[in-house]
Chain A
Amino acid sequence: MELGAPLDRVEGWDKVAGRARYSGEQRVAGVCHAVAVQAEIAHGEVLAVDATAARAVPGVIDVLAYGDAPALADTSDFELAVLQSPRVAYRGQIVAAVVAETLEIARHAQRLVRVTYDELGHDVELTPDHPGLYRPEKISPDDPPDTGEGEETPAEVSVDVTYETPAFHNNPMEPHATLAVWEGDHLTLYDSTQGAAAQRDALAALLGMPAERVRVVAHHVGGGFGSKGVPPRPNSVLAALCARRVGRPVKLAVTRQQMFSITGYRTPTFQRMRIGASKDGRIADIEHHVIEQTSTAREFAEQSGVVTRMMYAARARRTTHRLARLDVPVNSWMRAPGECPGMYALESAMDELAEACGIDPVELRIRNEPERDPDSGNPFSSRRLVECLRLGAERFGWSSRPEPGTRREGRHLVGMGVAAATYPAAARPAQALARVADDGSFTVSIAAADIGTGARTALTQIAADALGVPVARVRVEIGDSALPYGPLAGGSMGNASWGWAVLRACEGLRDGIARYGGAEPGLECRADTSGEIKNQEAYARHSFGAQFAEVRVDVDSGEIRVPRMLGVFAAGRVMNARLARSQFVGGMVMGLGMALTEESRMDREFGDYLNHDLAQYHVPVNADVLGIDAIWLDDPDPHANPLGGKGIGEIGIVGAAAAIGNAVHNATGHRFRRLPISPPSVIPHLP
């Protein structure tokens, strides 16, 4: 039985030896380097690009700008219509590019490009009462912006509070890089992407080429967290344009600073929560009103309020989403878009309700378990939140939680917090090919992506299990759009989608071998899961979890440390225990950053995220991460997909910030409703 075993990462040795090649690291003869020139205004038009000085630098091959850049076939998405218009929609937008023989020359010449602008005033600041707030037609991925049901009734206990979260940047360790190689009218793009096939399709459409003439390769991807999703980022388009223009392979690596404007981020939010309940904590009415930003360059409506549509039982329920269209960089997916900021607000408000009712926060959640999905009315495929809460409470020692603001140990205030977690479990159609190789081993191919999730390893285990052979006899090929179609790594759907197709292909091959009477090299089976997925029964499919945190607040400095965190998850069948733990814990670490250290600070005057590097944007470091652990229930969900898995990439971050915030309240007695909770905000509220 290979499924579930704690196998080492199959590409682990390549990674520790430095052999794993990420995009831009392939060796190609005649490669040159491109560097993007970015707009220095937040709103307006490019009047002229003077590249005289840049072109005069020995080693500069070409400079591209609006007016002389190769044309794109599809300019409907402004963010991707790179160099196709003089319009500037945000500071940091790509307005030109320099191509040179070496990176040093390209970076120097980049600074010599003189761009003049017709500058219009900009509006970059999200406020809760922004005059331009509007209701989007739909929220991501494809849901109504507003919902409402039931009649509001007078409540015995009520909470009406607003939470504020800042912008957050994904900041995968590998900056987006692309190596674009044209051979005749074929384009190969070695690209940092979470979905080679979707990236190929998107690039082909932009360039006006049939998809067969574009190939996207991403064997190893240095993290993504949504920022390397599809639609692509403008840097991929720019690399293709530069390579076509100069007729040579072009390498374009986005700098860390540039990532803060062109590779996406999570919107800041204001979230008003209104909950009315009976004294015994049963929710009568619940409302979640979300205010977020979007860019004039492309709309993205993060679905932060959806969690309130399905999480708890209530008689009346309202959710709304309003956006301000600002002159800001394009916000997009970041780990658990929607659920992550939404559950911060909902689970913080639940903590406030528990306090108002005088009920233990774990018990409050148990009392409000719905019987069916309140949103769809469908039964849950499985919902084991209560077990997660109870098991976590027991393991964490929840019963020793102090009264708010009462536990002091030396110069520290100590407290505990809890929050629930949830994330939808879905799958998308995929194709896979399983084949008997010449040496009698098995090769399984699918355009999946391993961005650090362990997908390559899990798919190997799924295939071995289905074929009934040891994992050593299975080789899984992924990360190439030339392979059978696989959807992108996102929405915690990767393994469910790819694994399903791999399972069917391997089952088919196994049958074929049985019929043939042996594993004859060349025998193969292709699978396509689109039909099965279309005919899935109507269930509400979600993972659930419970997050517990203990914090210590330094009464002198306001510094907060998290000595213990425990996540308990019910996330379907776990394909590889070791890698799953890493995924859960990794999400929790990112949630810790969200709670305590991370914040992208908008510069009102200039309109960009000011702290655009890793010295100023504080991703948690090793010393911030103390005793974090994750456990899970044995929870195969037969209604989710044939593998019983539900996806684990995102639920680890969901609820983590609320658990920490609730613990800070428990420690200090003060409720902080704006993230991050860091010394500047904590200091005024300490004894």
Chain B
Amino acid sequence: MERGETAVRAEIALRVNGEERRVVADTRTSLLDLLRERLGLTGSKKGCDHGQCGACTVLVDGRRVNACLALAVAHQGADVVTVEGLADGDEPHPLQRAFVENDAFQCGYCTPGQLCSAVGVLAEAARGWPSHVTADLAADGVELDEAEIRERMSGNICRCGAYPGIVAAIREAAGGGTAR
């Protein structure tokens, strides 16, 4: 047997949807697999496992990231919000409501990632971050028009092609609600 075939384990403590979680896990475990296989939070999806589809998108310390490319061991103490944590008790997040009402999904597999990504997009826009399609990079604010939403949501692939509904849902939520 080659040296170093035995899994290296580490204790990982993080906060998931407001709850402190402590797990002993293989250093190789991604944040996504930790959520899905260890914590039973299967809302975050595995569409590619390489950061190429966005189905695994979660919020880490308020930022949207691909949980499949995040090693759990490197996220000690992180504050993680998944799709299961978006609602406020029984009250759905405005984006969740808008996704249902605008039929912003079909099979639903990319949806949790789309939702977490959209929450991130609203926060990024609120901070005035520009995107690839922002005409005036130096401007302070950014209006989330359709082109901006499309570009910013392009890290989330939807093979069912529900993009028009996704854009409509985010526009609606951006206009009415506030980013959490």
B167 to chain A: which residues have CB within 8 Å? 622
Interface 1/0 per residue, B112-133 and A, CB below 8 Å = 1001000000000000000001
Nearest CB of chain A from residue B27's CB, rounded to whole Å: 9
Q: A16-B92, A589-B163, A625-B164 are in contact. Are A174 and B157 (CB under 8 A)?
A: no
Cα A19 to Cα B112 in complex, Å, equals 10
Choose one: A14, A57, A256, A588; the contact of B49 (CB below 8 Å): A256
Cα A581 to Cα B168 in complex, Å, equals 14
Q: A15-B108, A173-B110 are in contact. Are A613 and B161 (CB under 8 A)?
A: no
Cα A103 to Cα B37 in complex, Å, equals 9
> Is residue B52 within 8 Å, beta carbon to beta carbon, of the partner chain?
yes
> Is residue A222 within 8 Å, beta carbon to beta carbon, of the partner chain?
yes
B1 to chain A: which residues have CB within 8 Å? 53, 56-57
Within 8 A of A (CB), among B150-172: 150-151, 153-167
Choose one: A17, A58, A590, A621; the contact of B5 (CB below 8 Å): A58
Contact A613 B106 (CB under 8 A): no
B166 to chain A: which residues have CB within 8 Å? 622
Q: Give the interface size class of chain B.
A: 35 or more
Nearest CB of chain B from residue A647's CB, rounded to whole Å: 16
**Listed stretches A447-455, A498-506, A536-544; interface member:** A447-455
> Is residue B7 within 8 Å, beta carbon to beta carbon, of the partner chain?
yes
Nearest CB of chain B from residue A492's CB, rounded to whole Å: 15
Contact A15 B105 (CB under 8 A): yes
Contact B103 A103 (CB under 8 A): no
> Is residue B55 within 8 Å, beta carbon to beta carbon, of the partner chain?
yes
Q: A18-B42, A102-B26, A582-B103 are in contact. Are A173 and B161 (CB under 8 A)?
A: no
Cα A38 to Cα B164 in complex, Å, equals 38
**Listed stretches A20-28, A82-90, A276-284; interface member:** A20-28
Choose one: B42, B106, B150; the contact of A623 (CB below 8 Å): B150
> Is residue A681 within 8 Å, beta carbon to beta carbon, of the partner chain?
no
Contact A16 B163 (CB under 8 A): no
Contact A223 B159 (CB under 8 A): yes
> Is residue A13 within 8 Å, beta carbon to beta carbon, of the partner chain?
yes
Nearest CB of chain A from residue B36's CB, rounded to whole Å: 7
Contact B109 A453 (CB under 8 A): no
Interface 1/0 per residue, B81-115 and A, CB below 8 Å = 01110010000100010011101011111111001
Interface 1/0 per residue, A217-232 and B, CB below 8 Å = 0001111010000000
Nearest CB of chain B from residue A248's CB, rounded to whole Å: 15
Cα A620 to Cα B159 in complex, Å, equals 8
Cα A614 to Cα B155 in complex, Å, equals 11
Choose one: A27, A253, A622; the contact of B153 (CB below 8 Å): A622
> Is residue A11 within 8 Å, beta carbon to beta carbon, of the partner chain?
yes
Cα A407 to Cα B159 in complex, Å, equals 33
Contact B151 A623 (CB under 8 A): yes
> Is residue B14 within 8 Å, beta carbon to beta carbon, of the partner chain?
no
> Is residue A171 within 8 Å, beta carbon to beta carbon, of the partner chain?
yes
> Is residue A104 within 8 Å, beta carbon to beta carbon, of the partner chain?
yes
Contact A17 B108 (CB under 8 A): no
In the complex, which of the residues B40, B44, B46, B87 has the most CB atoms of chain A within 10 Å of its own CB atom? B46
Q: A58-B5, A619-B159 are in contact. Are A222 and B45 (CB under 8 A)?
A: yes
In the complex, which of the residues B99, B150, B156, B163 has the most CB atoms of chain A within 10 Å of its own CB atom? B163
Contact A104 B29 (CB under 8 A): yes
Interface 1/0 per residue, A36-60 and B, CB below 8 Å = 0000000000000000010011110
Contact B159 A172 (CB under 8 A): yes
> Is residue A491 within 8 Å, beta carbon to beta carbon, of the partner chain?
no
Chain B residues touching A, majority SS: loop
In this complex, how many residues of chain A approach chain B with their Cβ under 8 Å: the count is 66
B21 to chain A: which residues have CB within 8 Å? none
Nearest CB of chain B from residue A356's CB, rounded to whole Å: 34
Q: A104-B7, A614-B48 are in contact. Are A53 and B159 (CB under 8 A)?
A: no
In the complex, which of the residues A15, A585, A615 has the most CB atoms of chain B within 10 Å of its own CB atom? A15
A253 to chain B: which residues have CB within 8 Å? 46
A578 to chain B: which residues have CB within 8 Å? 103
Contact B106 A454 (CB under 8 A): yes
Contact B48 A174 (CB under 8 A): no
> Is residue B22 within 8 Å, beta carbon to beta carbon, of the partner chain?
no
Contact B28 A104 (CB under 8 A): yes
Contact A615 B45 (CB under 8 A): no
B77 to chain A: which residues have CB within 8 Å? none
Cα A480 to Cα B171 in complex, Å, equals 37
Contact A587 B161 (CB under 8 A): yes
Contact B109 A223 (CB under 8 A): yes
Contact A9 B100 (CB under 8 A): yes
> Is residue A628 within 8 Å, beta carbon to beta carbon, of the partner chain?
yes
Contact A16 B37 (CB under 8 A): no
Q: A57-B5, A454-B106 are in contact. Are A18 and B82 (CB under 8 A)?
A: yes
Cα A175 to Cα B160 in complex, Å, equals 14
B36 to chain A: which residues have CB within 8 Å? 25
> Is residue A8 within 8 Å, beta carbon to beta carbon, of the partner chain?
yes
Interface 1/0 per residue, A597-621 and B, CB below 8 Å = 0000000000000000111000111
Q: A18-B83, A452-B108, A623-B154 are in contact. Are A615 and B2 (CB under 8 A)?
A: no
> Is residue B80 within 8 Å, beta carbon to beta carbon, of the partner chain?
no
Choose one: B99, B108, B154; the contact of A220 (CB below 8 Å): B108
Cα A27 to Cα B37 in complex, Å, equals 9
Which residues on A are within 8 Å of B, measured CB to CB?
8-9, 11-22, 25, 27, 53, 56-59, 102-105, 108, 171-175, 220-223, 225, 253, 255-256, 451-454, 578-579, 581-583, 585-590, 613-615, 619-623, 625-626, 628-629
Query: Can you report 30 A-B residue pairs in the complex whose CB atoms are below 8 A from each other?
Result: A12-B100, A12-B103, A16-B96, A16-B111, A17-B84, A19-B43, A20-B108, A22-B109, A172-B107, A173-B45, A173-B53, A173-B55, A173-B158, A174-B107, A223-B106, A223-B109, A223-B159, A256-B53, A452-B106, A581-B103, A582-B103, A582-B106, A586-B106, A613-B48, A614-B47, A614-B52, A615-B50, A621-B157, A622-B154, A623-B150
Which residues on B are within 8 Å of A, measured CB to CB?
1-2, 5-7, 26, 28-29, 33, 36-37, 40-50, 52-53, 55, 82-84, 87, 92, 96, 99-101, 103, 105-112, 115, 133, 149-151, 153-167
Q: A223-B106, A590-B161 are in contact. List 12 more A-B contacts (CB 8 A).
A: A17-B83, A18-B84, A19-B43, A19-B84, A102-B26, A256-B47, A256-B48, A256-B53, A586-B160, A622-B151, A625-B163, A629-B164
Q: Which 6 A-B pairs have the closest CB atoms?
A: A18-B43, A589-B161, A222-B109, A452-B107, A15-B108, A452-B106
